[in-house]
Structure 1
Amino acid sequence: MTHARWHATDTLAARYADGTLPESEAWSLEKHLEHCTSCATRVSHAVRAGTAGAVLGEVREAVLREALLQEALFQELGSRSGVPGAGRFPRLARALWAAGPAVRGAWSLAVLVVALGAVALGYGAGVAGARPLLLALAPAVPVLGVALSYGPYADPVHEIAAASPSGGLRLLLTRTVAVLLVSLPLLTLAGLLLPGSGAPGAAAWLLPGLALTLASLALAGYVGSRAGAAVTCGGWLCAVLAPALTSPSDGAPLARLAEQLSAVLDGPLAQGTWAASAVLCAAALAARRAVYDRLP
C-alpha cells in the first residue's frame, strides 16, 4: 500500500497521540507523515489536544524562558564590561555552545596537557623519542574529541540540538571543525619544539589525523559515534604501536616506533594515500548525510 492511497482518520490520530496504537501501525503512520502534510497536521492537533500536549507546552515554555534569561545575562555582562565590542559576547557564547562539550569542557585542557607533557618529556626528562610518541598519539586526539562532542552521552541537550534546523551532519561537522582548530595547532607546535631524531616531521600527522577523523565520522553513520571513534583509534594505535613493541629487531621501543611512523607517515606515497583516504571518507559522509539526522 502506497502512502498516497490512504490518510489518517481522527480516531487513528487520537490513538497515536495517547499511545494506544500498536507499534507496527504507529511506525506505518510515522512513515506516512513524512509525505503527507494534511495527516501530519491532523496528528499534531491530536497530540496537542491530549495529555502530551500540555507537557510539550510546558517544556517549550521552559526552554524559551531559559533562552531569554541567558540572552539577557549575556547582554547585561556585555553592557557592564565597558569593553569595545562586548556586544558581540552573545555571539561568542553561542559559538562556544555550538562548538560542543569537548571544546567547552576538559578535553581542551587534556590536549594542552598532552602537548606540554611531550615537551616536558623531550627537554625536562631528556627522552629522545618524545616526538615519535607524540606523533603516534596525535592522530587519535581529534577523533576522541569529536566522539566527546556529539551524542546524548556527551551533550545534555543533544536531543534539542539534533532536532534544530542546524542539527544532524551540519552540527557534527561544526563540532568537528572546532575540535580540529584546537588540537591541530597545539599538537603541531609541540612537535615543532621537540627534537626530530629520525622521526617524521612535526606536521606529518595532519593528513592522517584528518583522514582518521573523517573515517570515524563515516563509521558513525553505521555504528554510532563512540563505536566509530573506538574502532578508528584502536586500529591506528595497533598499526603503529604493535609493530614497534613486537619487532624482534634491536633497539629501544621508541626508536622502533620512529621507524614505524616513518613508514606510514613519511614520503609522497604515504601522504598521498592519507589524502585519498580523507577524500573517500568525505565522499562517504556526503553520500549518507541523511543518516546523521538520527545518529545514535
Structure 2
Amino acid sequence: MPPSPRPAAPLPRRPAIAFPRPLAAALPRRLTRVLWSAGPALRGSWLIALLVVCAGAAGLAYGAGFGGARPLLLALAPVLPVAGVAFSYGPYADPMYEISAASPSCGLRLVLTRAAAVLGVSLPLLTGVSALLPGTPGLPGAAAWLLPGLALTLGALALGSYIGCRAAAGIVAAGWSSAVLLPVLAARSGGSGGAGAFPVRELAEQLGRYLSGGVTQGGWAAAAALCAGLVLLRRDRLEAA
C-alpha cells in the first residue's frame, strides 16, 4: 500500500503591514488638544474687553468724529496682549488648572500655546482696526506696534517667572502707560494746546518716538529676543506663575 502523501507545510504568514493613520483622522484629535489648551485665552473678560476697545475706537472715529481714536488705540494695543496672557494662565484663570498642570503639556508649552492664541487674535484684529481709522500727522503706521507688543508680552512672561503672571502684567502695563502718557500730560500741563482739549498731536508724537524708525524697531526686536531667551531659561518656574 503506497504511503499517504504528507500534508503540505503551511506557508509562513506575512507580517501585517501597519499603514499610517490617515491624516484626516489625526487632525481632529490634534486640533481638539490645541483648542483645549488655548481655551482660557480665547474666552472670558479679556476677549470681550478687546472687542469693546476695537468697537469703541471705531465708534469714536466715525460716529463722534474724534480725531484721537487711532492714537489711543495704538497706545493701548501693546499692552492688550499682555493682559490676555496674564488672564489665561494660572489657577485664577483656569478652573482645570491642577489637571492641566499635571499633564505632559504643562509649564512652558501650555503658556506658549495660550500666548500664541492671544497674539493670534489680538495682532490682526488691532492692526486691522487701526488701519481703518483716520490717521494723525506724526503717528506711526498701524503695524508699528507689533514688535513692541511682542516684546512686552515676552517681557511679562519672563518677569512672571519671578513674581507671577498677573503681577508682571500689571508692572509691564503700568510701565508702558507711564512712558507714553506721562510726557503727554506734562506737556499739556505746561501750556501747549488748548485747555481741556485732548492732546492728539502730543500723543501721536510720543508714540512716534517709541514706535517709529528702524533703530527703534530694531531695539524692540532685540528686547523680544532677550526676553524669549529668559523665558526659556526660566521655563521651570512658569509652572508656579
Same fold (TM over 0.5): yes
What is the aligned partner in structure 1 of residue 103 from structure 2? 164
Paired position in structure 2 for 1:204: 144
Whole-angstrom CA distance in 2 between matches of 1:256 and 1:142: 25
Which AA in structure 1 matches 2:51?
L
Whole-angstrom CA distance in 2 between matches of 1:214 and 1:265: 17
Equivalent in the alignment of 1:242: 182
Distance 1:279 1:87 in 2: 34
Using the TM superposition, give the Cα deviation of residue 291 of structure 1 relative to its aligned residue in structure 2, in angstroms: 1.8
Matched, 1:178 2:107: no
Counterpart residue number, 1:122: 61
Contact 1:100–1:150, Cα closer than 8 Å, also in 2: no
Check if 1:266 corresponds to 2:208: no
The secondary structure found in structure 2 opposite 1:188 is helix
Q: Which residue number corresponds to residue 169 of structure 2?
A: 229
2:48 to 96, 104, 109: 109
Question: May I ask how many residue pairs the two structures share in their alignment?
Answer: 211
- The one-letter amino acid of 2:192's match is D
Gap regions ≥5 residues in structure 2:
1-23
> Which structure has the highest helix share of the two?
1
The structure number with the bigger radius of gyration is 2
TM-score of the aligned structures, taking structure 2 as reference length:
0.82
**Aligned Cα RMSD in Å?**
1.8
AA of the residue aligned to 1:223: I
Deviations 1:197-217 (A, max 9, x none): 121110010000000000000
Indicate yes or no: 2:134 matched with 1:188: no
For 2:60 and 2:186, locate their aligned partners in 1 and report how far apart those are by CA, in whole Å: 23
For residues 31 and 45 of structure 2, the distance between their equivalents in structure 1, rounded to whole angstroms, comes to: 19
Identity %: 60
Q: 1:98 aligns with which of 13, 31, 37?
A: 37
* Partner of residue 218, structure 1: 158
- Higher normalized contact order (CA 8 Å, seq sep 6+, divided by chain length): 2
Q: Using a 3 Å threshold, how does the CA distance of structure 1 residues 249 and 86 change in structure 2: closer, same or farther?
A: farther
Shift of 1:91: 5.1
